[in-house]
Amino acid sequence: MIVILFTGGTISMKHDAGAGGAVPTLSAQEIVQATRGLSDVAEVELDEWGMLPGPHMTVSRMWEVRNRIASHLARPEVDGIVVTHGTDALEESAYMVARSLPADKPIVFTGAMRPASDLGWDGPANLLDAARTAASPLSRGKGTLVCLGERIHSALEVSKTHTEARDAFESPSVGALGEIDEGHIWYRRSITETPVPLAPSAPVDPVDIVHMWAGADARLLDASRETGAKAVVVAAMGRGNVPPAAFDGIVRWVESGRPVIITSRALRGRVGPTYGYPGGGRRVLEAGAIFAYGKRPGQARIEAMLGMGLGMGCAELRELFVT
């Protein structure tokens, strides 16, 4: 039996003339009724948690969804979970679930890139494929997955890389895990290692992300530190480099005793101490910042929130990001 947990997103939306755009409209039952063939895939149970657009997700709401999933997974009659979610925040919620719940029973996030009022509404097809993925014995042990546009991705790797294309979700460094072809699940590769879940009573919040750009200075880093962020993730340039004017802001974060975590704004690759000029990655690392290596900024933020929720300080987070 598969539980379908509805949280909202474009899959539940229709164009509203008064609002001037798409808004949440459809109930879980209406979406299921539009998904022909769903009853042939598995017995399903509907859990209508909410009808939130992706940008309305907060850390506390993401954690509430995670806990709802955990409660369903604990039921012996449940073989897997499908979660419908707004695509703007889907990769973040899915990563949080992937890093905090065991990998045995499949958890499959899906959504839509077109609302139901469009001729090209992709919600029913994505929901059917997600249910097929969750019901497949081949999906057991693969952890949390993301299924849209006939592709299956690991939630540990996937990113939304396009604003509105139907194939907006990709795993830039490694490619999709598998695909759905005429209803059949095909896995092309496996996750090499499933990390040990980080399962605090609650994630630490707020943890901010500050992006670097040509000519960036320390104002946003200082504002984040001065207004109470528990940690900051820097989406640095290239291999983990920052403009010289931003470097002192990183030093002030380190001196405050709170974690400053270095990622890259690039979609692929790892940060590393390659460059030794002022603001280069080696200088940043030597100043006491924590390298997130291959983690993208959003992933590193969630990793830090979960780790700090378990009481990890800078030294423990440094070790966490190395593994």
Give mean pLDDT, residues 12-17. Answer: 97
Same fold, 2-187 and 207-322: yes
Residue 15's SS3 state is strand
Cα of 13 vs its chain's centroid, Å = 21
Give the tens place of pLDDT for each residue, 45-99.
999 999 999 999 999 999 999 999 999 999 999 999 999 999 999 999 999 999 9
Give the tens place of pLDDT for each residue, 256-311.
999 999 999 999 999 999 999 999 999 999 999 999 999 999 999 999 999 999 99
| CATH code for residues 2-187 | 3.40.50.1170
Cα of 254 vs its chain's centroid, Å = 27
Q: Which residues are catalytic?
A: 10
- CA angle, 195 then 198 then 204, to 5°: 140
pLDDT for res 190: 86
* Residue type at position 116: A
| CA–CA separation, 58 and 52 (whole Å) | 10
Strands 178-181 and 169-170, sheet pairing: unpaired
Give the tens place of pLDDT for each residue, 89-130.
999 999 999 999 998 999 999 999 999 999 999 999 999 999
Q: How confident is the model at residue 173 (pLDDT cuts 50, 70, 90)?
A: confident
Average pLDDT for the chain: 97
Choosing among 3.40.50.10490, 3.30.420.40, 3.90.1300.10, 3.40.50.40, the CATH entry for 207-322 is 3.40.50.40
5, 56, 55: which is closest to 32 by C-alpha? 5
Cα of 138 vs its chain's centroid, Å = 22
Domain boundaries, the chain: 2-187, 207-322
* pLDDT surpasses 80 at 192: no
Q: How confident is the model at residue 191 (pLDDT cuts 50, 70, 90)?
A: confident
